[in-house]
């Protein structure tokens, strides 16, 4: 497999398959739910429709134009892009990202039916740009859902999707997978804290101090360490 203009060589395909396998094995998806993509310039490489993430063949990944969703003319397989290709395209248009992960993670999905956002229950929300908003409900695979998520991602790199699941945008596949895992963790913390009582929420000033400390310790834009 040779490098193409969009840069989707075997290394890129292997990276996406590795991320898909990590999400598939994490328990954050059931069956063929969930999808991942990575971006190169004006194109994205996305997981195929109806595939189980832990069993994807690199050759089944689909090269898609961000502008109109057209599949690359040299796509040799029978696979089609994920039904959420429009969602991924909208995320890339709304966020400076190199990869996108969409899951149906349990606690994120539960909270998407209960709240309008995940507040600053823990300082890890700084990795997402702040409290995580819940995008309004729209039918899966539609432009309306893509638009709703793009709105919820304003100034953020993560959002919940009402009665549906979660989406994150990362620098690369590895970063996006890490963000998806952290989002599900903080969703679990908030869910259980609400069951136990009235959780304490960090202030904007406290979050700003976390961001400054992360910079001082050179965590950069990644997930803050404990």
The catalytic site residues sit at: 84
> Which residues are within 8 A (CB) of 2 and not within 5 positions of it... i.e. 6 or more apart?
9
Instruction: Single out the residue of 47, 33, 104 nearest to residue 81, CA to CA.
Output: 47
Instruction: Single out the residue of 34, 128, 39, 44 nearest to residue 83, CA to CA.
Output: 34
Q: How far apart are CA 107 and CA 90, in angstroms?
A: 24
**Residue 75: how many other CB atoms lie within 10 Å:** 16
Phi, psi of 54 (to 5 degrees): -80, 0
Token code pair at residue 58: 């690199």
């Amino acid at each position: 497999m040779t490098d193409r203009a969009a840069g989707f060589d075997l290394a890129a395909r292997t990276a996406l398959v590795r991320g898909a396998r990590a999400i598939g094995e994490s328990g954050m998806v059931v069956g063929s739910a969930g999808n991942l993509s990575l971006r190169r310039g004006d194109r994205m490489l996305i997981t195929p429709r109806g595939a189980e993430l832990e069993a994807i063949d690199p050759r089944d990944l689909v090269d898609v134009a961000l502008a109109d969703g057209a599949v690359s003319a040299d796509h040799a397989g029978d696979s089609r892009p994920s039904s959420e290709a429009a969602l991924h395209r909208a995320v890339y248009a709304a966020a400076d990202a190199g990869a996108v992960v969409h899951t149906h993670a349990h606690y994120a999905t539960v909270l998407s039916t209960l709240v309008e956002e995940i507040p600053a229950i823990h300082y890890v929300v700084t990795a997402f740009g702040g409290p995580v908003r819940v995008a309004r409900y729209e039918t899966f695979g539609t432009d309306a859902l893509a638009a709703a998520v793009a709105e919820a991602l304003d100034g953020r790199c993560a959002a919940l999707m009402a009665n549906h699941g979660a989406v994150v945008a990362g620098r690369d596949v590895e970063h996006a997978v890490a963000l998806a895992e952290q989002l599900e963790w903080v969703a679990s913390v908030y869910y259980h804290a609400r069951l136990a009582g009235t959780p304490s929420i960090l202030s904007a000033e406290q979050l700003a101090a976390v961001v400054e400390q992360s910079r001082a310790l050179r965590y950069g834009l990644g997930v803050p360490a404990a």
